[in-house]
């Protein structure tokens, strides 16, 4: 199911690349991480994460997450479900998209990334939005 974005909220989201991802620890307490992201053609938020990090482990166990995109005092909050992607070719394709935006470079051939992603234990969290709100 594709989320129906408010055009202004989507414009704000796509104009930024850094956010705070909140996940839930196993004891129920919150955990936050600064993340870089891109938005895919379905309006989902794509985040590269290492498999040994708290954000990855938490999102796999409890996929309900919250992402906050700040810009001074203004911010966009996105609630949604995180899908954990750790198999290729999808992992490599989405990672190539994320790295190209965050590094401001040409998109790498995903096939050339697989070995490096395996060594780094890199994975993808794909956040399917369910609710958003903007605070100015």
- For the chain, domains (ranges, CATH) are 7-135 (2.30.110.10)
Q: How far is CA 3 from the centre of its chain?
A: 15
Q: Please check the confidence at residue 2 and state whether its pLDDT lies above 90.
A: no
Strands (E), 25-97: 30-36, 38-39, 45-50, 64-71, 74-85
When the pLDDT of each residue in the chain is averaged and rounded to a whole number, the result is 96
Q: Please check the confidence at residue 14 and state whether its pLDDT lies above 80.
A: yes
Q: For the segment 38-85, what is each residue's pLDDT rounded down to a tens digit? A: 999 999 999 999 999 999 999 999 999 999 999 999 999 999 999 999
Residue 104 and residue 46 in contact, taking contact as beta carbons nearer than 8 Å: no
pTM of the complete model: 0.94
Q: How far apart are CA 108 and CA 132, in angstroms?
A: 31
């Amino acid at each position: 199911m594709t989320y129906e974005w408010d055009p202004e909220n989507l414009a704000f989201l796509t104009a930024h690349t850094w956010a705070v991802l909140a996940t839930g620890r196993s004891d129920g307490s919150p955990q936050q991480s600064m993340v870089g992201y891109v938005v895919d053609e379905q309006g989902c938020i794509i985040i590269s994460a290492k498999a040994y990090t708290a954000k990855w482990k938490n999102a796999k166990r409890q996929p309900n997450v919250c992402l906050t995109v700040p810009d001074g005092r203004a911010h966009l909050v996105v609630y949604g479900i995180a899908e954990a992607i750790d198999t290729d070719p999808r992992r490599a394709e989405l990672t190539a998209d994320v790295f190209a935006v965050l590094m401001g470079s040409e998109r790498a051939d995903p096939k050339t990334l697989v070995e490096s992603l395996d060594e780094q234990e890199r994975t993808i969290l794909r956040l399917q939005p369910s609710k958003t709100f903007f605070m100015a």
